[in-house]
Protein backbone atom coordinates (compact mmCIF):
# COMPACT_ATOMS: atom_id res chain seq x y z
CA UNK A 1 0.00 0.00 0.00
CA UNK A 2 1.42 3.38 -1.04
CA UNK A 3 2.06 5.99 1.61
CA UNK A 4 -0.22 9.01 1.51
CA UNK A 5 0.88 12.63 1.34
CA UNK A 6 -1.73 15.23 2.26
CA UNK A 7 -1.62 18.37 0.11
CA UNK A 8 -3.50 21.09 1.96
CA UNK A 9 -4.31 24.42 0.37
CA UNK A 10 -5.63 27.52 2.07
CA UNK A 11 -7.75 30.51 1.17
CA UNK A 12 -8.24 31.69 -2.39
CA UNK A 13 -6.18 28.89 -3.90
CA UNK A 14 -9.42 27.59 -5.42
CA UNK A 15 -9.10 30.64 -7.71
CA UNK A 16 -5.70 29.69 -9.13
CA UNK A 17 -5.55 30.22 -12.86
CA UNK A 18 -7.63 33.37 -12.72
CA UNK A 19 -6.41 35.07 -9.53
CA UNK A 20 -3.45 37.40 -10.15
CA UNK A 21 -1.87 35.19 -12.83
CA UNK A 22 1.13 37.53 -12.97
CA UNK A 23 1.96 36.35 -9.41
CA UNK A 24 0.44 32.87 -9.20
CA UNK A 25 0.54 31.71 -12.81
CA UNK A 26 -2.09 30.29 -15.14
CA UNK A 27 -2.24 26.76 -13.69
CA UNK A 28 -5.36 25.85 -11.74
CA UNK A 29 -5.37 23.80 -8.55
CA UNK A 30 -6.69 20.90 -10.66
CA UNK A 31 -3.69 21.29 -12.99
CA UNK A 32 -1.36 21.12 -9.99
CA UNK A 33 -3.25 18.11 -8.63
CA UNK A 34 -2.75 16.30 -11.94
CA UNK A 35 1.00 16.99 -11.94
CA UNK A 36 1.27 15.81 -8.34
CA UNK A 37 -0.73 12.64 -8.97
CA UNK A 38 1.46 11.74 -11.96
CA UNK A 39 4.67 12.23 -9.99
CA UNK A 40 3.26 10.54 -6.88
CA UNK A 41 2.59 7.35 -8.88
CA UNK A 42 6.23 7.33 -9.96
CA UNK A 43 7.29 7.71 -6.32
CA UNK A 44 4.84 5.04 -5.09
CA UNK A 45 2.87 7.64 -3.12
CA UNK A 46 -0.77 8.63 -3.02
CA UNK A 47 -1.98 12.22 -2.88
CA UNK A 48 -4.89 13.48 -0.79
CA UNK A 49 -5.35 17.05 -2.05
CA UNK A 50 -7.76 19.41 -0.30
CA UNK A 51 -8.51 23.13 -0.32
CA UNK A 52 -10.44 25.29 2.11
CA UNK A 53 -10.98 28.96 2.73
CA UNK A 54 -11.50 28.15 6.42
CA UNK A 55 -8.63 27.96 8.90
CA UNK A 56 -10.29 25.35 11.12
CA UNK A 57 -10.54 22.89 8.23
CA UNK A 58 -6.78 23.10 7.75
CA UNK A 59 -6.22 22.50 11.47
CA UNK A 60 -8.56 19.49 11.42
CA UNK A 61 -6.84 18.08 8.32
CA UNK A 62 -3.41 18.40 9.94
CA UNK A 63 -4.70 16.37 12.88
CA UNK A 64 -6.23 13.86 10.46
CA UNK A 65 -2.92 13.48 8.62
CA UNK A 66 -1.32 12.24 11.80
CA UNK A 67 -4.31 10.08 12.76
CA UNK A 68 -4.21 8.19 9.44
CA UNK A 69 -0.41 7.90 9.38
CA UNK A 70 0.30 10.16 6.40
CA UNK A 71 3.92 10.23 5.27
CA UNK A 72 3.91 14.04 5.17
CA UNK A 73 1.80 17.13 4.61
CA UNK A 74 2.49 19.69 1.89
CA UNK A 75 0.87 22.86 3.21
CA UNK A 76 0.23 25.99 1.20
CA UNK A 77 -1.60 27.94 3.88
CA UNK A 78 -1.77 31.02 1.63
CA UNK A 79 -2.61 34.14 3.66
CA UNK A 80 -2.97 32.06 6.85
CA UNK A 81 0.80 31.53 6.61
CA UNK A 82 1.31 35.03 7.95
CA UNK A 83 -1.49 35.17 10.51
CA UNK A 84 -2.32 31.78 11.96
CA UNK A 85 -1.03 30.85 15.37
CA UNK A 86 -3.63 28.05 15.22
CA UNK A 87 -1.79 26.47 12.27
CA UNK A 88 1.54 26.92 14.03
CA UNK A 89 0.17 25.13 17.09
CA UNK A 90 -1.41 22.36 15.00
CA UNK A 91 1.87 21.68 13.17
CA UNK A 92 3.74 21.60 16.47
CA UNK A 93 1.12 19.24 17.93
CA UNK A 94 1.60 16.50 15.31
CA UNK A 95 4.52 14.24 14.47
CA UNK A 96 3.77 14.15 10.74
CA UNK A 97 6.34 16.29 8.91
CA UNK A 98 4.89 19.41 7.29
CA UNK A 99 6.54 21.00 4.28
CA UNK A 100 5.52 24.61 3.66
CA UNK A 101 4.84 25.35 -0.01
CA UNK A 102 4.32 28.63 -1.86
CA UNK A 103 3.93 29.33 -5.57
CA UNK A 104 5.50 32.79 -5.24
CA UNK A 105 8.43 33.82 -3.08
CA UNK A 106 6.94 35.63 -0.06
CA UNK A 107 10.26 37.34 0.66
CA UNK A 108 10.11 39.26 -2.60
CA UNK A 109 6.63 40.55 -1.85
CA UNK A 110 5.02 42.86 0.72
CA UNK A 111 6.70 43.06 4.10
CA UNK A 112 3.82 41.43 5.98
CA UNK A 113 4.40 38.27 3.92
CA UNK A 114 7.96 37.88 5.21
CA UNK A 115 6.82 36.34 8.51
CA UNK A 116 5.60 32.74 8.39
CA UNK A 117 3.93 31.14 11.37
CA UNK A 118 3.80 27.91 9.33
CA UNK A 119 7.53 28.10 8.68
CA UNK A 120 8.26 28.38 12.40
CA UNK A 121 7.19 24.73 12.80
CA UNK A 122 7.51 23.25 9.30
CA UNK A 123 10.14 20.66 8.47
CA UNK A 124 11.15 22.84 5.51
CA UNK A 125 9.92 25.42 3.03
CA UNK A 126 9.86 25.46 -0.77
CA UNK A 127 8.75 28.69 -2.42
CA UNK A 128 9.01 30.74 -5.57
CA UNK A 129 8.99 28.06 -8.25
CA UNK A 130 5.32 28.22 -9.24
CA UNK A 131 3.66 24.80 -9.50
CA UNK A 132 7.11 23.20 -9.44
CA UNK A 133 7.24 24.18 -5.74
CA UNK A 134 4.66 21.46 -5.10
CA UNK A 135 6.63 18.89 -7.09
CA UNK A 136 9.85 19.74 -5.25
CA UNK A 137 8.01 19.43 -1.94
CA UNK A 138 6.62 16.05 -3.00
CA UNK A 139 10.15 14.90 -3.86
CA UNK A 140 11.29 15.98 -0.41
CA UNK A 141 8.34 14.19 1.23
CA UNK A 142 9.25 10.99 -0.61
CA UNK A 143 12.70 11.09 0.94
CA UNK A 144 11.52 11.50 4.52
CA UNK A 145 11.98 8.45 6.73
Answer yes or no: are the C-beta atoms of 48 and 83 closer than 8 Å.
Answer: no
Mean pLDDT of 51-61: 98
* CATH of span 3-142: 3.40.50.9100
Q: How far is CA 120 from CA 47, 65, 69, 90, 113, in A?
A: 24, 19, 22, 12, 14
- Total-model pTM: 0.93
Mean pLDDT of 123-138: 97
Mean pLDDT of 50-68: 98
Q: What is the pLDDT of residues 80-101, one digit of tens each?
A: 998 999 999 999 999 999 999 9
User: By three-state DSSP, how is residue 90 classified?
Assistant: helix
Q: What is the pLDDT of residues 4-44, one digit of tens each?
A: 999 999 999 999 888 877 777 789 999 999 999 999 999 99
pLDDT higher than threshold 80 for residue 121: yes
Domain locations along the chain: 3-142
Is 57 noted as a catalytic residue in this protein? no
Answer yes or no: are the C-beta atoms of 5 and 141 closer than 8 Å.
Answer: yes
Catalytic residue among 57, 63, 82, 102: 102
pLDDT above 90 as % of the chain: 81
Q: How confident is the model at residue 132 (pLDDT cuts 50, 70, 90)?
A: very high
Is 134 noted as a catalytic residue in this protein? no
Q: How far is CA 72 from CA 17, 21, 98, 107, 136, in A?
A: 26, 28, 6, 25, 13
Tell me what pLDDT residue 106 has: 76
Amino acid sequence: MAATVFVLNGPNLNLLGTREPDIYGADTLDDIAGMLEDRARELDLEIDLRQSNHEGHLVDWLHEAQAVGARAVLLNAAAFTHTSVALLDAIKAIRTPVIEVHLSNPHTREGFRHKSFVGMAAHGTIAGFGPTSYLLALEAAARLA
